[in-house]
Structure 1
Amino acid sequence: MKILVIEDNESVSSMLEMFFAKEEISGEFVSDGLEGYQRSKTAEWDVIIIDWMLPSMDGMTICRKIREEKNTVPIIMLTAKDSESDQVLGLEMGADDYVTKPFSPLALMARIKAVTRRYQVTIEGTADRTVIKTEHFEINKNTREVSLYGQLIKNLTPKEFDLLYYFAQHPKQVFSREQLLEHVWGYNFYGDERTVDVHIKRLRKKVGTSNQPFFHTVWGVGYKFDEVLVEHEI
């Protein structure tokens, strides 16, 4: 596994460098934001870890630029412990996950494994419903391609694809936020359900319309995937 870490805190970088060596992970560490962004384009990374506050270019800008280039590499943001707005903004900019400081290497490793798990499954290959075809969507698990109305959707992040694929496997079934965190993210998200809401909101913007949002809120429970036309969607 190759991981790019863009972090200007020397103690954090040193801690991760020692932990990565123990886990036999190839890690590259960059302390400058602009340099880190440029480095992100020069190799195939399994995961990119980006701190929020960086010299030259902040983490949100790096994340946004990576996604604008249609790069779907999993991104984990590092944020301050009490920066709730930062966490939400990071997800909206295209991050797949976030870790709040201070954190333990084991907690970060759980996030890394979660965001890369589905890629490993794809590389190994599975015969379990590789392509899902619905009334409007065609979703290919192996190529991680999504077509809507016959047009290829190119701007989905890895976690958005995972969420759409999971919903399409279970049309009209209602899932709580806790269930989605468990099945799509792959671990306990420590009670923070905001990430589900943010990803649903982004998917609605990217593939839905006002009268066909595809992802419907079921008040008091969670969400469901339904391709039915509606007059209003709250």
Structure 2
Amino acid sequence: MMTAILIADDDKEIVDLVKLYLQNEGYDIFQAYDGAQAWQYVQEKDLSLVILDIMMPEMDGLEVCKKMRNDGINTPILMLSAKAEDNDKIMGLLTGADDYMVKPFNPVELSVRVKAILRRIQLMKTSEQTSSEKLVIGPIIIDRSHHIVTVNEKELHLTTSEFDILYLLASEPGRVFSSEYIFERIWQEQAFGASKTVMVHISNLRDKLREALGGENVIKTIWGVGYKIEI
């Protein structure tokens, strides 16, 4: 079965260019030119990755991303934007995107990012097939074989990146992991300037856990060093 990727952008030239590069890699491509069409594909197709432009008619990429996460759709999202400001990048990641690229971008670099995301998903699935390991930290149960996290017996909806970060931190409770180490382990790339990306995902994960735990903060920031989980 071919890997299916949705490219959603109101710029047809960009869609055609990205489609050409990704089809050459053997992926099955769907294309959308507005947010409403993208949302329809997300609901109807079995997608391995969604590439979302932020500025689209009908519904912008941030809204599509938010709807996906609110509906418990954890398909990885690569966000595209013509805005290079850190606040826009942070907003995309806070909404639930897994990665972010600024236009104009090199299609070869985008292809590399896509491969890295899909490779991470495949490694996770391979691990799931060879292990039914569960990590238990207090009321938090992380079931890697089924990609489910429960807190006090209630399921917690996490994005792929949030799940992977939580599993990494929980694998060694009390150990402090640096931003660089987390990024390189999770995103499988060199961690050049990756601290903000990790910070935003940690912030999202911390907020979800805090809400599920009735206000308890279990992910600690060790300033200048990194992050750890502790209950």
What is the TM-score of this pair, normalised by structure 1?
0.90
1:14-54 Cα distance to aligned partner (Å, 9 max, x none): 21121112101111111122111112111110000100101
- Counterpart in the other structure of 1:232: none
Instruction: Give runs of aligned pairs for residues 1-234 of structure 1, distance below 5 A.
Output: 1-124=3-126, 125-128=128-131, 130-153=133-156, 155-208=157-210, 212-227=216-231
C-alpha distance in 2 between matches for 1:188 and 1:55 = 35
C-alpha distance in 2 between matches for 1:131 and 1:205 = 22
1:156-188 Cα distance to aligned partner (Å, 9 max, x none): 111111110111112111111111110112112
C-alpha distance in 1 between matches for 2:142 and 2:99 = 23
C-alpha distance in 2 between matches for 1:118 and 1:143 = 16
Query: What 5-or-longer segments of structure 1 have no aligned partner?
Result: 228-234
C-alpha distance in 2 between matches for 1:159 and 1:138 = 17
1:149 Cα shift?
Answer: 2.2
C-alpha distance in 2 between matches for 1:129 and 1:191 = 35
Q: Is the 8 A contact 1:6 1:33 kept in 2?
A: yes
Q: Is the 8 A contact 1:3 1:47 kept in 2?
A: yes
* Percentage of identical aligned residues: 33
- Counterpart in the other structure of 1:231: none
C-alpha distance in 2 between matches for 1:109 and 1:190 = 18
Q: Is the 8 A contact 2:8 2:51 kept in 1?
A: yes
Q: Alpha carbon RMSD of aligned pairs, Å?
A: 1.8
Amino acid at match of 1:77: M
Amino acid at match of 1:79: S
The DSSP-based 3-state class of the residue aligned with 2:5 is strand
Amino acid at match of 1:149: N
C-alpha distance in 1 between matches for 2:72 and 2:206 = 18
What count of residue pairs does the alignment treat as equivalent? 226
1:82-108 Cα distance to aligned partner (Å, 9 max, x none): 232111111111111111112122322
C-alpha distance in 2 between matches for 1:56 and 1:135 = 44
Q: Which runs of 4+ in 1 moved over 4 A?
A: none
1:225 Cα shift?
Answer: 1.2
C-alpha distance in 1 between matches for 2:131 and 2:222 = 28
Query: What 5-or-longer segments of structure 2 have no aligned partner?
Result: none
Closer/same/farther in 2, CA of residues 79 and 136 from structure 1, 3 Å limit: same
Q: Is the 8 A contact 2:35 2:59 kept in 1?
A: yes
1:211 Cα shift?
Answer: 6.3
Amino acid at match of 1:90: G
Q: Is the 8 A contact 1:77 1:95 kept in 2?
A: yes
Closer/same/farther in 2, CA of residues 189 and 112 from structure 1, 3 Å limit: farther
